[in-house]
Chain A
Amino acid sequence: MAEGTTWTTYDANKMASKEIYGKVLAELGEKNDKIVGVTADLAKSTNIGNFGDKFPDRIFNVGIAEQNLFGVAAGLAKTGLIPFASTFAIFACLRGGEQVRTDIAYQNLPVKIIATHGGLSFGTAGTTHHCTEDYAIMRAIPNMTVVIPADGFETAKAVRACIDIPGPFYMRVGRGFEPPMHDNEDFEFTVGKAITIHEGSDLTIITCGTPTLQAREAAKDLEAEGISVRVLNMHTLKPIDKDAIMQAVMDTRRILTVEEHNVIGGLGDAVAAVIAESGKGCAFTKLGINDEFSVIGYPEDLYARYKLDATGIAETVKELLGKEIEADEDWTDED
């Protein structure tokens, strides 16, 4: 494991997703007076407070009322504004989920939902505050774009990019203790286009969000053992980058999806559907929360338990490499 990737020792102020979100939003707010913020007593926790400190007349705190949060956001958007609505992921997808679907997505309104504390990142807060269902819910809602940045740099880029997306947008980030994966903002980030963060030819890991860094670390460790792993950072879950998936299938014939989400309905299923519809076969494994409620614990312990850390990912890669697949050496003639 590379130094600096342990969750508890990382200095959150460096470039954590949640931190950067508020800063970038405040910066965007200077240029665009249509941007407003809405939150449900979590202005501080979700860091939208940075925006609110700068523009006190442009942030609306509705109190602990998530149904109202998204209804109000829809109403604000109806008057031509671009509302950023922030709360914890679990409340965005379930407590206010119908408002997200019916008030925001059905009316195709440009509400930007910034869901923090996603996945297992709220560790000791326990299962009530974990969220391993949001990918499934949000990707099943028409008009919705779903982005899960890997770190603060991607979050910054996603926040800037979502302004130009005309419809609703859902972005899931962690609690703000995530270490950065990129060194700076000097990389290409296009919504809907996966980023290859590690090249390889034996197998491809397709992942998003906080496990992305861990997948890259696993690929580095495996490289030392002579195993060549490609890592695709599928930061946009919807619309998914089908070309990158199929290229990986063609090139490596083995696909491992890694997600901080239930293995039902999330990234793994989205990737599996693309492959199944293509008619091409490959060895395939989904790594994630295996349809169970996550336990209480520090995030790093939970990531280890559910094999979402570099060690667990590397182990799963080896298992998948041992899986037999029907060889078909000449796929290129099938189109």
Chain B
Amino acid sequence: MPKNVSVQELKGKAKELRLNIVKTANFAGSGHLGGSLSCADILAALYFKYLNVDSKDPDKFERDRFILSKGHCALAYVPCLAMAGFVPMESLETFNHYESPYGMHPDSKKVRGCDASTGSLGHGLPMGVGMALGLRYQKVNDAKVVVLMGDGEQNEGSVWEAAMAAAHYKLKNLIAIVDRNKLMIDGPTEEVMSIEPIDKKYEAFGFKVIVCNGNDMASLDKALAEAWANTEDKPVAIIAKTEKGYGVKRFQGKVPWHYGAMNSDLFKEAVADIEAMD
């Protein structure tokens, strides 16, 4: 059951997460800032309201599962796990450093609370299908499996292999979220390899589809509540419309900020932009 947390509180958590993303990018030297900032609200809502996970007992069998299928955004995920108490906040300072447990892509054997090692795109939804089937077979009927994917990731064929299986097996405990930030490394998704109409595609594959604004906490909260309350015998897909780099004006909607490094002036500017968010 989702916790009783207000939209305002979640907005505060998302803002705090954005600050931790840019700080961690600074510790790391560089990072996937664009996609990490675009999904910050989604991660904050999941970890501080929706997911039934416990930092004191991260392996609890009945817990919800979360897979960051867009693994390159460990820059957002690990700070979120730190804020949720799974890993020490000060450990973020080692991000990307020699022999650190944290690198560009999360390693489930090294990051406490991380359910799956990811990084190669298109791997999260298949693993999510496996987890959802495994939990159902073992009669853990209340646990959700949430998979957060990128929009460029939708190009991967394995996503659709898994989507077909999710609907075939009527995995109503599975929630796929697409961070629809509209940009990929080489440019806009619709120029590189168009994915639209992505909502209709998931619908045609047999998902219950919810479209929301993934950078507007009220809209996102409503979508997640609806997904959590799903009683239909089908998996849920949330198309969360976001903006890449959201929260830092210089990064917003800019293709080159998929990945980058900030000098000290830019870092201060990024922090100031985030602090000015409401």
User: Which residues of A are interface residues toward B (Cβ below 8 A)?
Assistant: 36, 38, 57-58, 60, 62-63, 65, 67-68, 70-81, 83, 98-99, 102-103, 106-108
Which of the candidate stretches B19-27, B32-40, B95-103, B133-141 sits at the interface with the other chain?
B133-141
Q: Does B250 contact A (CB under 8 A)?
A: no
Please give the distance in Å from B58's CB to the nearest CB on chain A: 13
Residues of A near B134 (CB, < 8 A) are: 36, 75-81
Which of the candidate stretches B156-164, B185-193, B206-214, B223-231 sits at the interface with the other chain?
B156-164
CA distance A76 to B61 in the complex (A): 13
Please give the distance in Å from A96's CB to the nearest CB on chain B: 9
Among A63, A72, A83, chain B packs the most CB atoms within 10 A around the CB of: A72
Q: Does B165 contact A (CB under 8 A)?
A: yes
Contact B130 A107 (CB under 8 A): no
Q: Does B253 contact A (CB under 8 A)?
A: no
CA distance A77 to B162 in the complex (A): 16
A71-B123, A72-B130, A108-B109 given as contacts; is B164 within 8 A of A63 (CB)?
A: yes
Closest A residue to B138 using CB positions: A79
Q: Does B132 contact A (CB under 8 A)?
A: yes
Give per-residue flags for B165-208: 1 if the beta carbon is below 8 A from chain A beta carbons, else 0.
Answer: 10011000000000000000000000000000000000000000
Contact A106 B61 (CB under 8 A): no
A78-B134, A81-B137, A81-B138 given; 5 more Cβ-contact pairs under 8 Å: A62-B161, A67-B126, A68-B126, A68-B165, A72-B127
Q: Which 5 A-B pairs have the closest CB atoms?
A: A75-B130, A71-B126, A79-B134, A65-B161, A68-B161
CA distance A77 to B138 in the complex (A): 12
Q: Does B55 contact A (CB under 8 A)?
A: no
Please give the distance in Å from A78's CB to the nearest CB on chain B: 6
Residues of A near B161 (CB, < 8 A) are: 62-63, 65, 67-68
Q: Does B120 contact A (CB under 8 A)?
A: yes
Among B129, B130, B135, B169, chain A packs the most CB atoms within 10 A around the CB of: B130
CA distance A32 to B131 in the complex (A): 19
Identify which of B61, B115, B158, B165 contacts A63 (C-beta below 8 A): B165
Identify which of A58, A62, A63, A107 contacts B117 (C-beta below 8 A): A107
Ordered by A's residue number, 8 sampled pairs between the chains whose C-beta atoms are within 8 Å are A71-B130, A73-B130, A75-B131, A77-B134, A79-B131, A103-B116, A103-B117, A103-B126
A36-B137, A60-B169 given as contacts; is B61 within 8 A of A78 (CB)?
A: no
Contact B109 A68 (CB under 8 A): no
CA distance A57 to B138 in the complex (A): 11
Residues of B near A98 (CB, < 8 A) are: 120, 123
Closest A residue to B168 using CB positions: A63
Contact A99 B131 (CB under 8 A): no
Q: Does B247 contact A (CB under 8 A)?
A: no
Please classify the interface of chain A as helix (H, G, I), strand (E, B), loop, or mixed, using the class held by over half of its residues.
helix
Count of CB-CB pairs between chains A and B under 8 Å: 108
Closest B residue to A60 using CB positions: B133
Contact B117 A71 (CB under 8 A): no
Residues of A near B116 (CB, < 8 A) are: 74-75, 78, 103, 107
Contact B164 A72 (CB under 8 A): no
Contact B127 A103 (CB under 8 A): yes
Residues of B near A60 (CB, < 8 A) are: 133, 169
Residues of B near A77 (CB, < 8 A) are: 130, 134
Q: Does B108 contact A (CB under 8 A)?
A: yes
Contact B123 A72 (CB under 8 A): no
Residues of A near B127 (CB, < 8 A) are: 71-72, 74-75, 78, 103
Residues of A near B61 (CB, < 8 A) are: 80
Closest A residue to B157 using CB positions: A67
CA distance A107 to B116 in the complex (A): 8
A78-B116, A78-B127, A107-B117 given as contacts; is B158 within 8 A of A67 (CB)?
A: yes
Among B65, B126, B128, chain A packs the most CB atoms within 10 A around the CB of: B126
CA distance A98 to B120 in the complex (A): 9
CA distance A331 to B160 in the complex (A): 60
Please give the distance in Å from A280's CB to the nearest CB on chain B: 37
Residues of A near B162 (CB, < 8 A) are: 65, 68, 71-72
Q: Does B31 contact A (CB under 8 A)?
A: no
Residues of B near A76 (CB, < 8 A) are: 130-131, 133-134
Among A60, A77, A83, chain B packs the most CB atoms within 10 A around the CB of: A60
Identify which of A65, A79, A103 contacts B123 (C-beta below 8 A): A103
Closest A residue to B158 using CB positions: A67
Closest B residue to A73 using CB positions: B130
Residues of B near A74 (CB, < 8 A) are: 116, 126-127, 130
Closest B residue to A34 using CB positions: B138
Q: Does B122 contact A (CB under 8 A)?
A: yes
Residues of A near B132 (CB, < 8 A) are: 75
CA distance A67 to B164 in the complex (A): 13
Closest A residue to B135 using CB positions: A79
Contact B130 A80 (CB under 8 A): no
CA distance A68 to B127 in the complex (A): 8
